[in-house]
Amino acid sequence: MRKDSRPVTSETLASMLMTNPLVVRRTMALLRQAGYVSAIKGHNGGCLLATPLTDIILFDIH
């Protein structure tokens, strides 16, 4: 994780993906269980990558 990384909320991701925030939260929960993202609760919370992008391949996510 980069030092300047900030958590991204499900609302922000949903807006970028043009979908419902609930869909993003459910997907992020699965990715968190797999260890690809970490979640920060509370004000200024959200999701961050827990694994470097160079270590993730699409097949892993699928």
- Domains of the chain, by residue range, sit at 1-51
Quote the pLDDT of residue 2.
Answer: 54
Question: What is the dotted CATH code of the domain comprising 1-51?
Answer: 1.10.10.10
pLDDT band at residue 46, thresholds of 50, 70 and 90?
very high
pLDDT band at residue 4, thresholds of 50, 70 and 90?
low
pLDDT band at residue 61, thresholds of 50, 70 and 90?
confident
Quote the pLDDT of residue 60.
Answer: 87
Quote the pLDDT of residue 24.
Answer: 96
The pair phi, psi for residue 59, each rounded to 5°, is: -60, -35
Q: What is the pTM of this model?
A: 0.81
How many whole angstroms from its chain centre is CA 37?
5
Q: Which of 34, 33, 32, 44 has the alpha carbon at shortest distance from 5?
A: 44
How many whole angstroms from its chain centre is CA 45?
11
